[in-house]
Structure 1
Amino acid sequence: MQRFDGWLSRTGIAHKKHNNGYHVVLTLPDGRMIDCWPSTKKWQLRGQRMSRNGKALHELVLQQLRPWP
Structure 2
Amino acid sequence: MKLSARNQLKGTVTSVETGPVSAKVKIDIGGGNVITSTVTSETVEELGLKAGDAVVAIIKASEVIIGK
TM range (shorter): under 0.3
Higher gyration radius (CA): 2
- Higher helix proportion (structure 1 or 2): 1
Higher-RCO chain (CA-CA 8 Å, sequence separation at least 6): 2
- Higher strand proportion (structure 1 or 2): 2
